[in-house]
Amino acid sequence: MFASKDDFKEQYLAEFTKTMAKPFEECTKRERYEVLAKMICSRAAKLHTETRLRHISQQRKQVYYFSMEFLIGRLLNNYLINLGIEETVRRGLKELGEDLDQLLPMEPDPGLGNGGLGRLAACFLDSMAYLDLAGMGMGARYRFGLFKQTIEDGRQTEEPDPWLVNGYPWEIRNSDSAVSVHFGGKVERTYEDGKINFEHTAYQTVLAVPYDVPIVGYDGKTVNMLRLWQAEPAEEKIDLAAFNNGKYSEAVRERNEIEAITAILYPDDSTPAGKELRLKQEYFLTAAGIASIIDNYKHQYGADNWRAFSDRTAIHTNDTHPALCVPELMRILLDQENLEWDDAWDIVTKTISFTNHTIMPEALEKWPIDLIQRLLPRVYMIIEEIDRRYRENIDRSQADWQDRTRSSAILWDGQVRMANLSIIGSHSVNGVASIHTNILKHDVFQTFYQESPDKFNNKTNGVSHRRFLLEANPALGRLITTSIGPEWISNAYHLENLLPYANDDLFLNQLEKIKYVQKCRLAEYIKEHNGITVDPASIFDVQVKRIHAYKRQLLNMIKIIYLYNRLKKEPDLDLHPHTFLFSGKAAQSYEFAKEVIRLIHAMADVVNHDAQIGGKLKVVFLENLSVSIGQLIYPAADISEQISTAGKEASGTGNMKFMFNGALTLGTMDGANVEIHQLVGDDNMFLFGLTSSQVTDLRGNYRSLDICEHSSALMEIIDQLVNGFFGSDKDAFWSIHDALIRYNDEYFVLADFEDYMRAFFEADQAYTDRRRWNKMALTNIAMAGHFSSDRTISQYAKEIWKIK
């Protein structure tokens, strides 16, 4: 790419006069970043063309990964690393008097996702490119990502995130590949040669314009694309009469209505008010994606070659959000390509696959039939027919056939159940960790599992170890490479070669030193952003994730209040100093989660200002969690809090990011924690709490008040929530108090408290033996390779997408 550092400098400086019309010296850091990013982007675009031509000539099976969310994080540093030019660029910039590390934060971090599901999609893109799969991401180009979180007076407030205001150097608008998407209208039946045709008329046309973002794989050999669709009016329509009368807003009404489709990312708690727009978004992504797939396919394989379609194409749906892929692909094959139902259905089900990401019932999507019918009349007819045929095939000789219909039919109770549509329309259904897949098979989707056991499979999540270890923690990366060579970067299982270093004092000391330096870096960030001084020699105990009742940030808080109370009574308690770090957003309308954030701040206020505590405890909340803040936090953690109620967290992926950075898990037997435990054993993590089957068994017989009545410490804490401990009456935490006592503690916080404290104190003790701790950290890093998304994607490719 650049023959030398001087070659880079020459090309870089030349760009300024070409694109900025002013020399490098007169440009701001942001402009310098922008020129560099655009330059790398255009090189990546060229590499993409080469990849694409190669993949076409090899007739590669093309994978389309449909997701409403992609949390890609910042790209510049990642791509410099993947292209192997980071050092060249760094040194070139230095000679120009510029520091690469100061340009990197100029990049916006697009918040096009809520949390784990969106970040997983981005890790998958990285791994698909690394593994040289012909994989394209299909997503939406939201003008506003997830809200920007600020804390005012201890409460979360939300502000818009206009991440595109200064432009985005990584995207390429591809107007000529735009497609039309139709909403509303009516369907007319016409008869021709004894065949019924369905004609959709009087619809509104929305133009879908793709913006392509290059995905540079490690080693730079493969560059794929993430295609983000934007909604635009099909033709420039403006009501001139209204405009001339001064009614500007009326004149641009339709334009606004259409642009609203990709204006904003939905938070994961969307209320019914915004539902119609969310459904429009889902269909918009689906229809635009499918139309472009069909265009491409015909271009490559001819207009009439449908038999080969499912051998050449895989469509993966990330949760049910793109579930309309099933009826939409049917619609195209039936109405546009004139295939028979059975042939079309065979193609659709062989092409589409589906991942479920949660068993929380409130997140299982359902749409009112009349809404779908009005917005997507033809698509609805097809859903109805899929449902009719499915019901017809239910075996009525079985005594429980009615129960089976009740759980598995698509249309029920005036609603379209999207998970059922996805399962029926896919050849593969997977969960995201072994325990989660088992719950899908034996509980949530058991009717389907009994019907078609072979459809169900597990694909335990993974993360990009290149982003979350190599890029986020370069010092650790260097230590690993000098010890065992660089193969771990392309094959994370090589990290196991670190195991023999468990008795190497020099190595262990270096590991400890790197952790300390990362903690200092985070401590500086905290000082700057929160004005709080934290001691890098304290244990950094970290919980970073969306704020949700089932994730139990509250359990962590109760622990902190407990420790505080004990230290007040026993100032000499043998406890290593702790810094408790929290970060994460609460959905805008999720009042309980917002109260948890307020509680964290109220407690921080008490603890951080109590001279008697003498810095033994500190509580810090880092605002506005993003991929880039995550990259700062994971390397600095000693303890990774993964404390969800067993059975509730499908997998978790933060747990893996911490593990790659040598943090030890303090967690329940939930999600991928179970598999972490299989890999590192009891000696290298701190497990506690009820198992998921114990949770199920306890549910009917649980009385949270009983637990409090047996624990004066808990009773005291419950009381403190509302007795003025946190200030005046209006500051009391009644909703939290009530959730725990009045509503019987749905997530078993109090039931798990005692065992949680036991595990916590074990971890505290373990930390004092620094050598032992470092060994444990090393074992975690060494065994983390299994959680590289390279492993996950290899399994998807082989077992679901059937790519040789």
CB of 671 to ligand 26V, least distance (A): 5
Mask of contacts with ligand 26V, 83-122, x by CB under 6 A?
-------------------------------xxxx--x--
The catalytic residue among 545, 559, 601, 775 is: 545
Q: Which stretch binds ligand 26V (CB under 6 A): 23-31, 235-243, 325-333, 644-652?
A: 644-652
Find tokens 């919980």 and name the residue: 543
Nearer to ligand 26V, 141 or 331 (CB): 141
- The correct pick among 358, 553, 608, 788 for binding ligand 26V (CB under 6 A) is 358
Q: Report the 10 Å Cβ neighbour count for 787.
A: 27
Closest CA to 586 of 553, 556, 613: 553
CB of 585 to ligand 26V, least distance (A): 12
* Cα–Cα distance for residue pair 476/515, rounded to 1 Å: 8
Which residue sits closest to ligand 26V, CB atoms considered? Answer: 116
CB of 267 to ligand 26V, least distance (A): 7
Nearer to ligand 26V, 114 or 553 (CB): 114
Nearer to ligand 26V, 323 or 597 (CB): 323
Q: Note if 653 is an active site residue.
A: yes
- The correct pick among 144, 266, 580, 748 for binding ligand 26V (CB under 6 A) is 266
Find tokens 């771990």 and name the residue: 488
Nearer to ligand 26V, 151 or 360 (CB): 360
Establish if 641 lies at the interface with ligand 26V (CB under 6 A): no
CA angle 45, 50, 53 (to 5 degrees): 120
DSSP secondary structure string, 710-723?
Answer: T-HHHHHHHHHTTS
CB of 631 to ligand 26V, least distance (A): 18
Q: Which residues contact 334 (CB under 8 A, 6 or more apart)?
A: 198, 341, 344, 382
Nearer to ligand 26V, 458 or 608 (CB): 458
CB of 72 to ligand 26V, least distance (A): 15
Q: Is 584 left (phi over 0), alpha (psi -120 to 50) or beta?
A: left
**Total number of residues shown for the chain:** 804
* Cα–Cα distance for residue pair 540/459, rounded to 1 Å: 31
361 to 390, contacts with ligand 26V by CB under 6 A? Answer: 363
Nearer to ligand 26V, 348 or 359 (CB): 359
Q: Nearest 5°: phi and psi at 260? A: -60, -25
Establish if 268 lies at the interface with ligand 26V (CB under 6 A): yes
Nearer to ligand 26V, 432 or 606 (CB): 432
- The correct pick among 292, 353, 426, 461 for binding ligand 26V (CB under 6 A) is 461
The catalytic residue among 657, 775, 786, 791 is: 657
- The correct pick among 47, 418, 432, 732 for binding ligand 26V (CB under 6 A) is 432
- The correct pick among 270, 296, 446, 794 for binding ligand 26V (CB under 6 A) is 270
CB of 115 to ligand 26V, least distance (A): 6
Nearer to ligand 26V, 652 or 785 (CB): 652
Establish if 422 lies at the interface with ligand 26V (CB under 6 A): no
Written as one letter, the residue type at 269 is D
Nearer to ligand 26V, 62 or 353 (CB): 353
Helices (H), 176-252: 240-244, 248-251
CB of 461 to ligand 26V, least distance (A): 5
Mask of contacts with ligand 26V, 193-212, x by CB under 6 A?
--------------------
Contact indicator for 642, 756 with CB cutoff of 8 Å: no
CB of 435 to ligand 26V, least distance (A): 11
The catalytic residue among 227, 548, 551, 552 is: 551
Q: Note if 551 is an active site residue.
A: yes
Q: Note if 657 is an active site residue.
A: yes
Establish if 671 lies at the interface with ligand 26V (CB under 6 A): yes
What does DSSP assign to residue 460?
A: -
Dihedral angle, C-alpha 282, 285, 290, 292, nearest 10 °? 170
Mask of contacts with ligand 26V, 591-630, x by CB under 6 A?
----------------------------------------
Q: Note if 366 is an active site residue.
A: no
CB of 481 to ligand 26V, least distance (A): 29
Q: Note if 545 is an active site residue.
A: yes
Establish if 319 lies at the interface with ligand 26V (CB under 6 A): yes
Q: Report the 10 Å Cβ neighbour count for 752.
A: 23
Distances 110 to 45, 131, 142, 163 between C-alpha atoms, Å = 20, 25, 9, 6
Nearer to ligand 26V, 229 or 266 (CB): 266
113 to 172, contacts with ligand 26V by CB under 6 A? Answer: 114-117, 120
Q: Note if 442 is an active site residue.
A: no
The catalytic residue among 351, 653, 665, 792 is: 653
The catalytic residue among 5, 9, 61, 357 is: 357
Helix (H, G, I), strand (E, B) or coil at 329: helix
Q: Which stretch binds ligand 26V (CB under 6 A): 265-273, 373-381, 684-692, 785-793?
A: 265-273
E strand residue ranges, 426-537 = 428-431, 456-458
Number of shown-chain residues binding ligand 26V (CB under 6 A): 20
- The correct pick among 43, 61, 357, 455 for binding ligand 26V (CB under 6 A) is 357
Structure tokens at 618: 């500190």
Helix (H, G, I), strand (E, B) or coil at 15: helix
What does DSSP assign to residue 140?
A: E
Helix (H, G, I), strand (E, B) or coil at 210: strand
Establish if 262 lies at the interface with ligand 26V (CB under 6 A): no
What does DSSP assign to residue 665?
A: E
CB of 444 to ligand 26V, least distance (A): 13
Q: Nearest 5°: phi and psi at 228? A: -110, 120
Structure tokens at 709: 């009545």
Structure tokens at 501: 């270093």
Nearer to ligand 26V, 88 or 651 (CB): 651
* Cα–Cα distance for residue pair 715/721, rounded to 1 Å: 10
Helix (H, G, I), strand (E, B) or coil at 463: strand
647 to 666, contacts with ligand 26V by CB under 6 A? Answer: 649-653
CB of 116 to ligand 26V, least distance (A): 3
To which H or E segment does residue 791 belong?
Answer: helix 789-795
Closest CA to 110 of 167, 157, 72, 155: 72
Is 95 exposed, middle or buried, given 0-12, 13-18 or 19+ CB atoms closer than 10 A?
A: exposed
Helix (H, G, I), strand (E, B) or coil at 414: coil
Nearer to ligand 26V, 489 or 695 (CB): 695
* Cα–Cα distance for residue pair 402/408, rounded to 1 Å: 10
What does DSSP assign to residue 617?
A: E
Establish if 584 lies at the interface with ligand 26V (CB under 6 A): no
The catalytic residue among 546, 548, 601, 618 is: 546
CB of 278 to ligand 26V, least distance (A): 6
CB of 67 to ligand 26V, least distance (A): 10
Nearer to ligand 26V, 98 or 319 (CB): 319
Chain mean position to CA 30 = 27
Contact indicator for 187, 199 with CB cutoff of 8 Å: yes
What does DSSP assign to residue 214?
A: E
Contact indicator for 315, 137 with CB cutoff of 8 Å: no
* Cα–Cα distance for residue pair 800/594, rounded to 1 Å: 39
Chain residues in the site for ligand 26V (CB under 6 A): 114-117, 120, 266, 268, 270, 319, 357-358, 363, 432, 461, 649-653, 671
- Write out the catalytic residue numbers: 357, 545-546, 551, 653, 657
